[in-house]
Structures are given as C-alpha cells and as structure tokens.
A and B are shown apart, each in its own frame.
Chain A
Amino acid sequence: MPEIIKKLPLEIKKNKLKTGVAVLLSAYWGVIIAGTLISF
C-alpha cells in the first residue's frame, strides 16, 4: 500500500490524460449521485 502511494505522483505525471479523465468522471458521477440524493 505505501509503495502505491509513493508512486502515485509519478504515475499521475506519466498518465496525464488518464488522470484527467478519471478526475472528470469522478466529478460527473459525484454531481449526478448528489443531485439524485438531494432531489428525493
């Protein structure tokens, strides 16, 4: 586990596109799940 955390900044730098997509998709899912919970 600590090994993964140590390598995380390096992996993020290496895969900028993948990181960007992962962040955007998380935000997207966050908005729709939060919206659903609020609207009910």
Chain B
Amino acid sequence: MEVFLPIAQVFINPIEILLLSAIVGVLSGLFGVGGGFLMTPFLIFMGVPPAYAVANEANNILATSVSGSTTHWLKNTLDYKMGFMIVIGGSIGTALGIYTFTYFKGIGKIDTVISLAYMYILAIIGTLMLVESLGEIDKAKKNVIERKKLHVHYWIHGLPFRMRFPKSKLYESVFTPIMIGLVVGFIAAIMGIGGAFILVPAMIYIIKMPTKLVPGTSLFVTIFVSVIVTFLHSINFGSIDLMLVVMLVVGSIVGVQVGQKLGEQIDSSGLKALLALLLLIVGIIIAYDTFFVEEIQKETIKSLNQDLNFFSKFIKEFSKDMPFFYGLFSILFAVSLGIAAAFIRRFISNFRKKYFNKTLKQTK
C-alpha cells in the first residue's frame, strides 16, 4: 500500500514511515537524544528529497518537543529566562541557516550539502559516543572511580554583560546562551534537527545549569527553533507536507513514550555503544549514497490536480496559494498534537496510579 505525498511528490508506504518513526522515537526516549538526526536520513533513504525531509522532520520535532516540554512545564523543571536567551541566538542562527539553505538551493547543491552535513554529524556523534561508552565499560571492569573537578572555567565565562538566572542559580554573561543558540539555530535550519545533542552538553558543561533543568529547557528552546525553521521553510520553499507530518508525529510520539518507559526499567548505558554503531552505519550508508552511487535522474512525477484525492488537493492548493497561513497552520497543528499527547500521557499515568493504589489497598 503506497500513498502519494502531494507536496514532496513521491510515493511512500505509510506503515513503513509509522514504524520507522516509532522505532526512532523509542531510541530517542531511551537515550534522551533527539530523533531528528536519525529520522531525516531514513526519510532520504525512503526516497523523500532531502530538502523536504529536513522541513517535515523540523515540524515533527516541534510536536514532540511541545509534548516533552509540556510535561516539564507541569513538573516546573524549566528555566524560562535562560531558555529565552538561547532562543534569541537561535532565531538569528535559524535566519542565517535559512539564508545559507537558500544559497545552496539556488546553485543546485543543497542535497549534497545536507548529505555531507549528516555524514559528518553522525560520524562525530557516533565516534564520541563509542569512545565514551568504551571508556565506561573499561572503568566498570577496573572499578575506577573518577573524581571530577567541581568548576572548570573557560574563556566564555569571562564575557561581559552578566545577568542573574535565579532558577538555575547562575550569574552568567548573556553572550554565552546567545552564542550556543546561534550554533543550534544554524544547524537546525540546514539539517532539520532539534539540536539537543549540542544544547544538552553545552547547558551542562559550558553554562553549568542544574541537570534537572536541562531536558525541559532544551525542549523549550527546541520548540521556538523548530517553529522558526518550519515557518521559514514553509513560506520560502513550500516544502511542508502535512500528510507526511501526521505519520511522523503519530509514530514518534508513541515511540518516545515507550522509550521513556523502557528507559526507567533498563540500564541503557550498555546499549550506548550499539546506538553509536547504528549512527556510524547510517553515516556510512549516506557516504556510500553520496560518493559511490551513480546519480540517477529521478523521474519527477508531474501530478495533475485531478489525480489527487480531496485532502491531497486541498493541502497542495493551500500551501501554494497561502504559504503564510499554511506555515501557521502547520505550526498550530504540530503544537496541538504535542499538547494533546502530553495531557493524554498525564491522564494515563494518573489513571494507572489510582488503579494500582486501589488494587494494592485491596490486596492489603
């Protein structure tokens, strides 16, 4: 069973997309990493053009980060002030990223640039994770307890315009979060990822935020960055395909919840090496695709509006005639799905607690 995507102009199997996004969601929930840098390459392997894969994955990330951030908002584990500072840098970075994207699209090199960017990012993350996990295994074997320094100061801590961040109990230069946001926004715009793999270590090791505030604040920043990325991609290139977004969001939201539950029950540190290997394998497949596979001129499918069903026709015309409102609609759609998922999760969790408490009382 194949479905035609009216905007990306390709046929895809919806079950495959749902399964893949669910698997990536599980990995994402289990290891606490964003799924963007795995899902976008998978979409590319399935035939979705890279420029469309990037834009639609950004919209999917928006839904999942809204879902995660709402949960942290309900638990009060968010530093808004720090988050907004990173968002300022993120907005500038995203605008620069879209400008770069437009330039490479103009000269017809955007697909190669996206593939190369993924190849290197996956190689860097995979290598670092593999080395780290081997080190952890080694230390566990030798029973080594490492004493870490309490405070390490980098040049970045000497920057001017310091500001108090009461929630994180920090007195930090505003330039530190702005610069980190700039890098994250730039990468997010070109690669369609949330940037948690940069944000989380930067918040812990450079900004030195309390660890319990890091995941929520990182997701909070990701919401704003992915809103800007989705909106700019939609109005500049008309590349958001709501049919693809629905499949991605449903699969990943379910997958993330399963992954988080699994993560509470099993020790995922031993599995880190396996995830690192998976990243390196995906990186080498992209390298093979980019360097060795002969460029096949893909037949462009010129679909006439008459061939499409009502929903596909509506999406195509809406995107073409009103790109501004289509962009806004895509954002609101992802945000509503994310909030709904967070509340459903809370409802199920409360229901389970009540049910288990009742059964426990009855057994006593």
Query: A residues touching B (Cβ–Cβ < 8 Å)?
Result: 17-18, 21, 25, 28-29, 31-32, 35-36, 38-39
Question: In whole angstroms, how far apart are the Cα atoms of A1 and B284 in the complex?
Answer: 35
B107 to chain A, nearest CB (A): 13
B134 & A39 in contact (Cβ 8 Å cutoff) = no
A28 touches B280 (CB 8 A): yes
A25→B130 contact, CB < 8 A: yes
Contact B134 A32, beta carbon cutoff 8 Å:
no
Decide: A28 and B130 in contact? CB cutoff 8 A. Answer: no
Assuming the contacts A18-B134, A32-B283, A36-B116, asked whether A25 and B290 have C-beta atoms less than 8 A apart, the reply is no
Interface of A is mostly: helix
Binding site for A on B (CB under 8 A): 112, 116, 119-120, 123, 127, 130-131, 134, 138, 280, 283-284, 287, 290-292
Question: Are A38 and B134 touching (Cβ within 8 A)?
Answer: no
A35 touches B287 (CB 8 A): yes
Alpha-carbon gap, A17 to B284, bound state (A): 21
CB distance from B165 to the nearest CB of A (A): 38
- The residue from B130, B284, B287 contacting A21, defined by CB atoms under 8 A apart: B130
Q: Do A39 and B123 form a contact, CB below 8 Å, given A17-B134, A21-B134, A32-B283? A: no
Q: Are A32 and B130 in contact (CB under 8 A)?
A: no
Does A28 contact B134, Cβ atoms closer than 8 Å? no
Q: 3 tightest CB-CB pairs across the interface, nearest first?
A: A35-B291, A32-B287, A35-B287
Complex CA gap A39/B289 in Å reads 12
Is the CB–CB distance between B112 and A39 below 8 Å? yes
**In chain B, what residue has the closest Cβ to A29?**
B123
Q: Which of A18, A21, A29, A39 contacts B291 (CB 8 A)?
A: A39
Chain A contacts for B127, CB-based, 8 A: 25, 28-29
Residues of B contacting A35 in the complex (Cβ-Cβ under 8 angstroms): 287, 290-292
Min C-beta distance of A13 to chain B, whole Å: 16
Name the CB-closest residue of B to A36. B116
A6 to B283, CA, bound (A): 36
Give the chain A neighbours of B130 by CB distance below 8 A. 21, 25
How near does chain B come to A1, taking the closest CB pair, in angstroms? 24
Cβ B284 vs Cβ A28 within 8 A: yes
19 contacts between A and B (CB under 8 A): A18-B138, A21-B130, A21-B131, A21-B134, A25-B127, A25-B130, A28-B123, A28-B127, A28-B280, A29-B123, A31-B284, A31-B287, A32-B119, A32-B120, A32-B283, A35-B287, A35-B290, A36-B116, A38-B291
